[in-house]
Amino acid sequence: MLGVTVRLMSDGELARLEVLRDLDQKRLTTETASQLLRLKRRQVFRLLKAYRIEGPTGLISKRRGRRSNRRKPEALRRTVLTIIRQWYWDFGPTLAAEKLREDHGIALGRETLRQWMIESGLWLDRKQRKRIHQPRPRRDCVGELVQVDGSEHWWFEDRGPQCTLLVFVDDATGRLMHLQFVESESTFAYFHAARAYLQAWGKPVAFYSDKHGVFRVNHPGALGGDGMTQFGRALHALNIDIICANSSPAKGRVERANKTLQDRLVKDLHRSLRAGDDLDDAFAWKEERTLSQALTLQYDKVMFILEPSEQAKAAIGKRVTVVDYPDGRLAIRYRGIELAYRTFDKIRQVSQAAIIENKHLGAALALIRDQQLRREPERRSGPRRRDQRDARLFKVG
């Protein structure tokens, strides 16, 4: 039995074969074939001659399967892989290429090095590096862990503005514990929602969230502060922990909030609020400022002038706490004592090229549009603090 030879042709070569077959059988003119192949007449005749002599095989590139003229020497490949195995076995292709160039005088393209490392088993491509997220068992008790998340969407279609739904889901049962529509996923929005949840259900052991800036300080090089966000500080004051998931599948309960479990007998682990738990104080934005010799400080583009009392004079040069409540009230404290003050207000506006966090973009655009409609600046008797309006649009639960 005679062997069968298989020749592979690319899509472009197959397209040329059809055109040249029609040209050879006089179904096309040379001019039309030239236009279809986007080649000069001389090149069309050259291909037609090869087709008549060798058949379809004559249209296959002669360089297929041959070694590239730009291929690196095999000795260089072995040397590079030996260096990587010895010194840079845990480096990625980009960093390894930089080290080879800087420390060993070997200039290689990142992609060339990546292919070599994959072939030798020193690197995995994206498909091979894909992580498998195995399901995590539910917690045993209601109230032990509550997942929280915000979902920005056109919830009311064209009947209302785009808004965010804050969702609180119990990890043990998958039960929807609290839903609240807010303008954007901001700190004060979570203040309102968490306060409502705690008043209705009591304190969980911990909240489980994503890595949004409300829950986690995402800038390791941030100057000052205690490493807590305002929301984290509020939960810490109430003895509630916040845990950030490393991936979306890890908090799949809240991602699939419509799935709930029924007929599950569990022990309720919610803790009652203590007599000393002050929710107003806990869910307030707090920042520290240094009081000047003139009894002044600045907060949110507003200058505050303290009344010259004995307590205020004792705080000169020291750190005082500005307490910004969600309902618009503001207090200045020093060692737990509130100090009387008056304000020198400044107009709030969104400047050109302002940097806005992605999840606050809708609210920022609404503010800009409102400013464009009004144009004329308005003087106000008190400071306006961003994200301090009542964040609730509609509330369920």
Instruction: Compute the average pLDDT of residues 349-374.
Output: 57
The mean pLDDT of the chain is 76
CB within 8 Å of 377: residues ≥ 6 apart: 347, 349
Q: What is the per-residue pLDDT for 271? A: 65
- Answer yes or no: is pLDDT of 379 > 50: no
Which range, 86-95, 181-190, 330-339, has the best average confidence (pLDDT)?
A: 330-339
Name the strand (E) or helix (H) holding 27. none
Cα gap 322→284, rounded to integer Å: 10
pLDDT at 316: 93
DSSP per-residue letters across 345-377: -----PPTT----GGGHHHHHHHHHHHHHH-S-
Q: Please provide the CATH number assigned to the domain covering 145-281.
A: 3.30.420.10
Instruction: Provide CB contacts within 8 A for 87, sequence distance 6+.
Output: 99
Query: Residue 146: how many CB atoms within 10 A of its CB?
Result: 29
**116 is written with which tokens?**
């070599």
Count of C-beta atoms within a 10 Å radius of residue 297: 21
Q: Which two tokens stand for residue 20?
A: 């040249």
pLDDT tens digits, residue range 10-47?
777 788 888 888 888 888 888 888 888 888 889 888 88
Q: How far apart are CA 202 and CA 191, in angstroms?
A: 15
Number of Cβ within 10 Å of residue 244's Cβ equals 16
Per-residue confidence (pLDDT) for residue 62, from 0 to 100: 72
Mean pLDDT is highest, among 126-130, 261-265, 306-310, for 306-310
What does the alpha-carbon distance between residue 308 and residue 263 come to, in Å, rounded to a whole number?
Answer: 63
What's the CA gap between 107 and 290, in Å, rounded? 54
**Domain spans in the chain, listed from the N-terminal domain onward:** 11-59, 74-129, 145-281, 284-344
Characterise 301 by phi-psi region: left (phi > 0), alpha (psi -120 to 50), beta (else). left
Q: What is the DSSP letter of 268?
A: B
Helices (H) and strands (E) in the chain, counts: 13, 13
With helix as H, strand as E and coil as C, how does 156-196 read? CHHHCCCEEEEEEEECCCCCEEEEEEECCCCHHHHHHHHHH
Average confidence (pLDDT) over 336-341: 91
DSSP state letter for 56: G
